[in-house]
Structure 1
Amino acid sequence: MDLSLTPLGDSYRLLACSVQGMLWLQTHFEATTWDLICTGKVRLNAASMGGLCSDACAAGLVVSRIPALSAAA
């Protein structure tokens, strides 16, 4: 697994789980965000998460997406 996306409320926490995942993220985010990426503090909304997953998978990365639980009662 290269990237992990975990739901947290209405956003997703992004974690790099491999060197390849980290290097790929560094090509998609500005240098000012790298410290946040390294420490797992990046949050993405659902639309951004979907786009990032599509791009990462197209590049050959393995992405683990944990689906958000629905609020259905």
Structure 2
Amino acid sequence: MSALPVLSGRQLVKALGRLGYAVDRQRGSHIILRQGRAPFRRLVVPDHAEIAKGTLRAVLREAGITVDELRRIL
């Protein structure tokens, strides 16, 4: 298992954008992303300077990607 990269919320949103996710809306410090093609997943990414490791793992799990895949798109 690869070590998790240290990312801000904006960096994670940009990386997920390369996978087909687009910003749907933002409420406070939470950015809601929507996948442009099926299965049309929705992800919630906190707009923090540094995302906690557990939160990052949860977002990756919901997106259906691994840490290695995230590293490749960064």
The answer to whether the superposition gives a TM-score over 0.5 is: no
Q: What is the TM-score of this pair, normalised by structure 2? A: 0.37
Indicate the structure (1 or 2) with the bigger Cα radius of gyration: 1
Q: What is the TM-score of this pair, normalised by structure 1? A: 0.37
